[in-house]
């Protein structure tokens, strides 16, 4: 059904240019956006109703502004809608990807993740290339509907084709030919080489169970989490052996180890950091359980001879104080972290760790904590927590992980949760540093906990957020020509090639969502340095600049019209 994306916005574009007034066009597009985003983001509501109520109209506003810009631009400049519509839409998607920390979700181009030939332009212009092609096609169809195809005859000229329609057709055909030709060329290049064998583990733990285990410290549930991941690791290794493969790395999902796993916490002298005996006992218990889980993971790595990448929290304890209303508050940074434990690790020290750098607003931090505390407290209503869950972001230039396999070394970095939705973060991870001809990493591992989104109105086995999240990763692979491994609680876990092909996927009885399973396969490496990895969003910025120029022209004309009327 991905072909629908090429014509789906035609009614909106027709309304934008044919509505009785600009105001009518704006509100019609806003209403359409409310319906579209209300349905496609329905999975937010069970997590935070207030957030859902605020998010849907915010997203719909971009469609409304898009309709306003298309209407004004088409009247201000003599350019077909086949050009105006894609330029405007790319500009707005770019803004949405950065505004308020960014939500680059449900771009029009994301619908094309299965069309390998057509998405290869992502390695030059990002996912915006697919959006541009979809909107160029919709714009051309709209041109056919709203502009005269045949101009009436005159004394000087016979009946003839309308120049605007001809130009729109030529430009749209050129966009299709260029996109398809580029895709065929890039796919035909022999740039693939074998990488390590990776096993991705998929758990199926709804978030409310996971929160209960963490907050109430129910050891039985914590033990169940650990036992399930150990068993799935054994299943993944057995599957690899059946295929004649030796696994080089096992990946577990985000924060699925219910402990605090950084070395400084595991080795901390809590008595020296905490004067309050009651608080100290709580953290001594957490330290004891965390050490136990660390030892089990390390033992599994030694037993199998395979490094294990897992997600957990890291806490730098600098003390704690009791709160007047009960409970206590720890001092010191907390981070959402990925740890790598190998058979040779020791002393509660991982081989390497990565702290999540791009945090999710209202999920991992609430803004304005220091600048406007009153607003910070007011915004707590949009979070899914009943307590302050603010985390500390990691640096954007953290060193990559090093994986040794078969006498070779490969480098990879971890994108935690929605970091894979942020194209700029994967660019930062992959962009060459010392050698301009070699990417900084060979592959990306996305560990995520999508257990928040298994409840919804439209699906019993997990919401469509799980599919939408997977689609984004396809573009991250193509944009940077890196393999992507996904290990996701509740799914969808997969292995994606640098061309965007989903090569392995975790399935159980034909189901991918909200089931346990594993995806095992040999990664494909691609030594090409993609243009997008070097120049980033240059194409989207060009569209934004063009849109800005048109807006300036429109505003200037409106101002002169008012002055003339006065």
Tens digits of per-residue pLDDT, 381-424? 656 555 456 788 999 999 999 999 988 999 999 999 999 999 99
**Residue written as token pair 């992502």:** 122
| pLDDT for residue 129 | 97
Taken in order of first residue, the domains within the chain and their CATH numbers are 2-189+538-565 (no CATH), 192-358+393-527 (3.60.110.10)
Q: Within 10 Å of residue 252's Cβ, how many Cβ atoms?
A: 27
Residues of the chain with pLDDT under 70: 148-162, 207-217, 323-329, 362-389, 456-461, 563, 565-566
Look at residue 424 in the predicted model and tell me its pLDDT.
Answer: 95
Question: Pairing mode, if any, of strands 192-202 and 320-322?
Answer: unpaired
274 contact partners, CB below 8 Å, separation of at least 6: 280, 283, 317, 319, 320
pLDDT tens by residue, 277-304: 778 888 888 889 999 999 999 999 999 9
Other Cβ atoms closer than 10 A to 542 = 15
Return the pLDDT at 160.
Answer: 46
Q: How high is the pLDDT of residue 159? A: 45
- From CA 483, how far away is CA 477, in angstroms rounded? 6
Supply the pLDDT for residue 128: 98
| Other beta carbons less than 10 A from residue 552's beta carbon | 11
Alpha carbon 9 to its chain's center:
24
Single pTM value for the model: 0.90
* C-alpha–C-alpha distance, residues 544 and 40, integer Å: 26
């Amino acid at each position: 059904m991905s072909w629908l994306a090429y014509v789906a916005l035609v009614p909106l574009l027709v309304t934008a240019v044919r509505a009785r007034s600009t105001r009518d066009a704006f509100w019609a597009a806003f209403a359409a956006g409310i319906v579209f985003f209300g349905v496609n983001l329905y999975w937010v509501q069970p997590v935070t109703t207030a957030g859902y109520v605020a998010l849907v109209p915010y997203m719909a506003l971009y469609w409304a502004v898009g309709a306003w810009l298309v209407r004004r631009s088409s009247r201000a400049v003599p350019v077909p809608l086949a050009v105006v519509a894609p330029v405007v839409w790319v500009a707005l998607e770019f803004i949405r990807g950065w505004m308020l920390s960014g939500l680059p979700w449900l771009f029009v181009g994301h619908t094309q993740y299965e069309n390998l030939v057509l998405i290869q332009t992502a390695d030059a212009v990002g996912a915006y290339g697919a959006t541009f092609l979809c909107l160029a096609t919709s714009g051309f169809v709209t041109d056919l509907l709203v502009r005269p195809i045949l101009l009436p005859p005159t004394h000087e000229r016979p009946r003839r084709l309308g120049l605007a329609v001809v130009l729109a057709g030529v430009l749209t055909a050129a966009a299709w030919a260029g996109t398809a030709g580029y895709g065929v060329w890039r796919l035909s290049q022999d740039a693939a080489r074998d990488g390590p064998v990776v096993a991705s583990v998929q758990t199926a733990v709804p978030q409310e169970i996971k929160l209960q285990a963490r907050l109430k410290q129910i050891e039985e549930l914590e033990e169940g989490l650990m036992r399930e991941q150990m068993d799935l690791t054994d299943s993944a290794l057995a599957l690899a052996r059946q295929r004649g493969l030796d696994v080089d790395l096992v990946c577990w999902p985000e924060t699925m180890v219910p402990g605090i796993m950084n070395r400084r916490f595991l080795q901390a002298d809590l008595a020296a950091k905490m004067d309050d005996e009651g608080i100290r006992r709580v953290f001594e218990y957490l330290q004891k359980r965390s050490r136990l889980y660390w030892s089990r993971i390390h033992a599994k790595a030694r037993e199998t001879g395979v490094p294990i990448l897992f997600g957990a929290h890291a806490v730098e304890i600098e003390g704690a104080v009791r709160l007047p209303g009960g409970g206590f508050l720890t001092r010191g940074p907390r981070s959402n972290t990925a740890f790598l434990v190998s058979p040779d690790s020791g002393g509660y020290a991982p081989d390497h760790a990565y702290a999540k750098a791009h945090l999710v607003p209202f999920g991992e931090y609430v803004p304005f904590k220091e600048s406007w505390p009153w607003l910070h407290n007011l915004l707590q209503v949009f979070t899914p927590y009943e307590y302050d869950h603010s985390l500390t972001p990691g640096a954007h230039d953290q060193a990559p992980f090093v994986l040794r396999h078969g006498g070779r070394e490969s480098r990879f970095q971890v994108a935690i949760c929605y970091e894979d939705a942020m194209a700029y973060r994967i660019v930062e991870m992959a962009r060459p540093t010392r050698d301009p001809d070699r990417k900084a990493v060979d592959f990306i591992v996305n560990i995520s906990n999508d257990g928040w989104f298994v409840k919804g109105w439209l699906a019993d086995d997990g919401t469509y957020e799980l599919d939408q999240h997977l689609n984004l990763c396809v573009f991250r692979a193509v944009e940077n020509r890196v393999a992507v491994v996904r290990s996701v609680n509740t799914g969808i876990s997969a292995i994606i090639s640098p061309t965007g092909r989903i090569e392995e996927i975790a399935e159980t009885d034909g189901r991918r969502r909200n089931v346990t399973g594993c995806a095992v396969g040999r990664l494909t490496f691609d030594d090409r340095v993609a243009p997008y990895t070097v120049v980033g969003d240059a194409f989207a910025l060009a569209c934004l600049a063009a849109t800005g120029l048109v807006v300036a022209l429109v505003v200037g004309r409106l101002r002169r019209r008012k002055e003339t009327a006065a």
